[in-house]
Structure 1
Amino acid sequence: MLRGSCDEVVEGQPVHLEQGDVLLLDVGCKHSVGYLGTNDLLINILFQDKEINLDLLSDLRSSKSVLYDFLINRKIGDDSKLQYLVFGHESQSEVQETLDRIIEEYFLERDFSDTIIVSYLSILIAQLVRNYKIDTQISMSKSQEIAVQLLKEINTNYKDVTLEKLAAKYDYNRNYLSNLFKREVGDTFSNVLTKQRLMKANILITSTNLPVSKIIKEVGIKNRTFFYKKYISLYKVAPSSSRKETLR
């Protein structure tokens, strides 16, 4: 929304946009735009690359946190597909700056504008992923709140956290916490903790030159064979291949 405001209906849901807000729609998403006043200006940007979709955005963002993964899956529901996201204008100055550059290049039609716009679109996607925030104030049951708290612990203290420590910290029976966690999250505490450690390992592998042996210890995994088996299962490639991909 470049200027003013507007109301849309997206997949049957009313969506209000204020100046600076960004509405991202997936392919095939049904939407309609309401009345625009003389001072309202709405810009549409069409992505030609079919691989850029909301599943990709979710995968990119949740690749850093099992907590985000859980919250966004709660938001969209188990039986629905995420078809649109609204990015509020608050604290998104970098997104606005990139959008301004894209619009400027498009309308001024200067030399190499097409090439520059393609590069800006890649930057825009990364910035949207970085700035998207899940509403953690959504209504939750008591057991969901406990599960989220445990996920926060995993997200923050993944290196040395254990279910036994958390049971003692929050004064719950270990087996009770284990069953509650699996029921609400859909997986065991151990599996989720391992996934978080692998996510952190992947970040270190693709963004640093640290030896894999040191990274394994850094994320709290003691067994090298176990790490390689689980890493390949999650990312479908060996750690060395992940590192090579980022150097291309």
Structure 2
Amino acid sequence: MDVEVFKSLQALSPVERQQQKSHLVSDDIPPAAIDSQASHTNQIPVLNDFFFKNCSVNIRKHNRFAPYPLHTHQFFEINYMLRGHAVEKVDGHLVTLSEGDVLLLDIGSQHAIDALGEDDLMINVLFRDRNISIDLINQVQATKSVLYDFLLNRINNKQSSKSYLLFKNHGLATRDIRITLDSLIDEYYQQNEFADTIIKSELTVLIARLVRNYEMPTPVTSPGQKLTIQILDDIRKHYQKLSLDDLAAKYAYNKNYLSNLFRKEVGKTFSDALTEERLLRARELIQSTTKPIGDVCHEVGISNKSFFYHKYADKFGHTPKEDRQIASGKSIIDPL
């Protein structure tokens, strides 16, 4: 992050000076930013689209020294812990943010924030693209792996769906996310030429990187479910050449037992799940490379081209060639 931008964020604002003395919220949000009718219905303040009158993305430093009361909003919000830590209550759940963590809040989520100290800096990124939601992020990620799909479905069947996602700072593994956020913040505050265009592009890259780095929490499972998840992970890692015989030898179980267990837990046969994983990997190659489709077919472990074409069209609604043509005409934000 640019040094001057960081210094300006670190400096106390007039509102923060008031809050530092009183430890009470001295809100700088104008009445026009609150939807009175929705607030009455929800019985808590509901923030509207006021912040986007002259921009598509609004970035605000969270004011320190006073707890921020429970509220909700009609836009998508990202809380980025630039420095220090924070504690939030989101839809009844306590969420602790440490330096580098990113919290995504869906439209309609309710959250309150404990008072931040002088050494804490939280940056709020607000944007109103209602086509981007937590549910959509889950759906996009589910297309990347049958393992993710299985875990997502199991969690949704067992637990109420969350309206937030927490991305923990894992150092080098999530470095790209922090670099993109820092660049987004720099562009917003420096307001150089073409800033709005760059901000929109950076936001697109940020969402793509968050989707790529999101890790599904593994639910508490029975021994059979744990074994199934291990098999699904094997499919994800070794889809090109994996077979039930390999798995039977690896886990010292009868092949028929594994086959029946897998079908019971996943709702599809091992063969179908393996083919689905191969098709997902093939689609990535078809949409992102110019490799001949026959080479892609063999690379993902399918030797029968007719079978590949038939299954591909059934799953994605287009032939591989059509899919490549469609993908070549899309921008990165289209699938998001």
- Tell me, yes or no, whether TM beats 0.5: yes
- Aligned CA RMSD, in angstroms, stands at 2.1
Partner SS for 1:167? helix
Q: What does residue 205 of structure 1 align with?
A: 286
Q: What does residue 116 of structure 1 align with?
A: 198
Identical columns (%): 47
The one-letter amino acid paired with 1:225 is: S
Deviation of 1:171 after TM superposition, in Å, equals 2.3
Q: What does residue 60 of structure 1 align with?
A: 140
Partner SS for 2:116? coil
Structure 2 unaligned spans of 5+: 1-80, 330-336
Deviation of 1:79 after TM superposition, in Å, equals 5.9
C-alpha distance in 2, partners of 1:20/1:168?
Answer: 43
Partner SS for 2:126? coil
Deviation of 1:59 after TM superposition, in Å, equals 3.0
Q: What does residue 208 of structure 2 align with?
A: 126
Q: What does residue 219 of structure 1 align with?
A: 300
Which of these residues, 26, 29, 34, is aligned with residue 114 of structure 2? 34
Please say if 1:4 is aligned against 2:76: no
For 1:193-246, what per-residue CA distance to the aligned partner results, in whole angstroms no more than 9, with x for missing partners?
111010111111112212112222222223333322321222222211221133
Matches within 5 A, 1:61-210: 61-77=141-157, 80-91=160-171, 92-135=174-217, 139-210=220-291
Q: 1:100 to 1:169 in 2, by over 3 A?
A: closer
More strand by share: 2
Q: Is the contact made by 1:66 and 1:151 (CA closer than 8 Å) also made in structure 2?
A: yes
Partner SS for 1:46? strand
Deviation of 1:61 after TM superposition, in Å, equals 2.7
C-alpha distance in 1, partners of 2:158/2:293?
Answer: 35
Partner SS for 2:104? strand
C-alpha distance in 1, partners of 2:160/2:268?
Answer: 20
C-alpha distance in 1, partners of 2:216/2:120?
Answer: 28
Q: What does residue 24 of structure 1 align with?
A: 104
C-alpha distance in 1, partners of 2:273/2:234?
Answer: 12
Partner SS for 1:57? helix
C-alpha distance in 2, partners of 1:49/1:115?
Answer: 15
Q: What does residue 47 of structure 1 align with?
A: 127
Q: 1:213 to 1:173 in 2, by over 3 A?
A: same
For 1:15-73, what per-residue CA distance to the aligned partner results, in whole angstroms no more than 9, with x for missing partners?
11112110011222222222223333222112222222223322333333222322344
Which of these residues, 312, 328, 331, is aligned with residue 231 of structure 1? 312
C-alpha distance in 2, partners of 1:90/1:79?
Answer: 26
Q: Is the contact made by 1:23 and 1:84 (CA closer than 8 Å) also made in structure 2?
A: yes
Deviation of 1:82 after TM superposition, in Å, equals 4.2
Partner SS for 1:23? strand
C-alpha distance in 1, partners of 2:200/2:151?
Answer: 31
C-alpha distance in 2, partners of 1:213/1:58?
Answer: 31
Bigger mean CA deviation after superposition, 232-241 or 76-85? 76-85
Bigger mean CA deviation after superposition, 188-197 or 178-187? 178-187
TM-score by length of 2: 0.68
Q: Is the contact made by 1:205 and 1:242 (CA closer than 8 Å) also made in structure 2?
A: yes
C-alpha distance in 2, partners of 1:88/1:64?
Answer: 21
Q: Is the contact made by 1:76 and 1:82 (CA closer than 8 Å) also made in structure 2?
A: no
Deviation of 1:135 after TM superposition, in Å, equals 4.3
Bigger mean CA deviation after superposition, 65-74 or 45-54? 65-74
Q: What does residue 23 of structure 2 align with?
A: none
Which of these residues, 229, 245, 248, is aligned with residue 326 of structure 2? 245
Structure 1 unaligned spans of 5+: none
Q: Is the contact made by 1:198 and 1:231 (CA closer than 8 Å) also made in structure 2?
A: yes
The one-letter amino acid paired with 1:107 is: Y
Deviation of 1:123 after TM superposition, in Å, equals 0.8
Deviation of 1:78 after TM superposition, in Å, equals 5.1
